[in-house]
């Protein structure tokens, strides 16, 4: 038996074992870093979008306040000034809360192009002097929470043939 050969075998085996351990350590380190990044992203998403359900539940309140203001005829506005001011203040405060939490209102203008990512077509009608796919009426505003759609804007769309 050659003692140098045995030592070479031991050194070779230990070197291979060291390389395997280094590889496993580097993989574990990369896995830990990926887990940290994933947890950080989940935490940020929870902070930004954690109130999505509450925000969606508040959208009808916004709609109802607007409908209440629109329902008062012009000739009765003077007799209901205090009530109208209260509703307007409440609506303004709700808008402030929305802004504070990253909620924005989508109110597409008549004549802009229909965008299926942000709009929901409620009807199509051939309206003169419009192009097919143009918004011809805003029925209900939509809402975004930061960069996510909470509710699409409900719109009427032109179906003008040949335009």
Residue 162: pLDDT band with limits 50, 70, 90: low
Residue 160: pLDDT band with limits 50, 70, 90: confident
- Is 94 in contact with 62 (CB distance < 8 Å)? yes
DSSP codes of every residue in 97-161? HHHHTTEEEE-PPTTSBP-TTTEEEEEEE--TT--TTBEEEEEE-EEEETTEEEEPEEEEEE--T
Report CA-CA distances (Å) from 57 to 46, 62, 117.
18, 10, 21
Residue 93 phi/psi, 5° resolution?
-65, -40
Residue 80: pLDDT band with limits 50, 70, 90: confident
Its pTM stands at 0.74
pLDDT digits (tens, 9 = 90+) for 24-69: 999 999 999 999 999 999 999 888 888 899 999 999 999 999 999 9
Instruction: Please say if the pLDDT value at position 1 is more than 80.
Output: no
% of the chain residues with pLDDT over 70: 96
Q: What is the chain's length?
A: 163
DSSP codes of every residue in 77-109? TTTTHHHHHHHHHHHHHHHHHHHHTTEEEE-PP
Q: What is the Rg, in whole angstroms, of the alpha carbon atoms belonging to the chain?
A: 31
Top CATH class of 103-163 equals mainly beta
């Amino acid at each position: 038996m050659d003692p140098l050969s045995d030592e070479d075998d031991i050194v070779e085996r230990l070197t291979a074992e060291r390389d395997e351990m280094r590889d496993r350590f580097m993989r574990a380190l990369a896995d830990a870093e990926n887990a940290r990044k994933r947890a950080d992203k989940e935490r940020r998403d929870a902070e930004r979008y954690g109130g999505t359900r509450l925000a969606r539940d508040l959208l009808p309140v916004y709609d109802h306040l607007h409908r209440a203001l629109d329902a008062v005829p012009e000739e009765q506005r003077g007799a209901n000034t205090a009530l109208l001011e209260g509703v307007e203040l409440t609506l303004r405060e709700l808008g402030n809360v929305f802004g504070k939490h990253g909620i924005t209102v989508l109110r597409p203008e008549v004549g802009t192009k229909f965008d299926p990512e942000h709009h929901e077509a409620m009807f199509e009608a051939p309206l003169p002097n419009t192009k097919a796919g143009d918004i011809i009426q805003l029925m209900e505003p939509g809402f975004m929470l930061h960069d996510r759609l909470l509710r699409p804007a409900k719109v009427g769309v032109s179906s003008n043939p040949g335009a």
